[in-house]
Amino acid sequence: MHHEFTMDQFCDWLCNHEAEIVGEGGRCFSSPLAAWLSDLCHATVGVEDARYGRASLPWWQWNLLPKWAVSFSLRLERCSFQPLTGWDALAVLADVELAV
């Protein structure tokens, strides 16, 4: 399960879900990035450290995330276990885009 994906695609998805809760910071299977990847892959996908993969696979078989996605996930740890809207996630993604 290796998919090519970009920050722009994620940004578009967040814009389409601005007012909705899109996940929680610091959660493997319910972070905004995991929710988007789950939509993209039509399967439950988790994001942990610098990897992502299907819930049915052991973590060592997961794929590496792009650097921007790792940076986004790390920034979300500041708001661990807090519900995030698409708008909240877009604000974090904007910080990532400036840093990259």
Residue 56 lies in a domain: yes
> How many structural domains compose the chain?
1
Does 30 map to a domain?
yes
Question: Is 26 within a domain?
Answer: yes
**Whole-model pTM?**
0.91
Q: Is residue 1 part of a domain?
A: no
In a domain, 50, yes or no: yes
Measure the CA angle with vertex 14, ends 96 and 60; round to 5°: 65
Domain membership of residue 100 (yes or no) is no
What does the block give as tokens for 77?
């740890």
**Residue 99 covered by a domain:** no
Q: Which domain holds residue 12?
A: 7-94
What pLDDT, on a 0 to 100 scale, did the predictor assign at position 99?
Answer: 84
Tens-of-pLDDT digits for all 100 residues of the chain? 556 789 999 999 999 999 999 999 989 999 999 999 999 999 999 999 899 999 999 989 999 999 999 999 999 988 888 999 999 999 999 999 998 7
* CB-based contacts of 85, cutoff 8 Å, min separation 6: 17, 18, 19, 20, 21, 22
User: Does residue 60 lie within any of the structural domains?
Assistant: yes
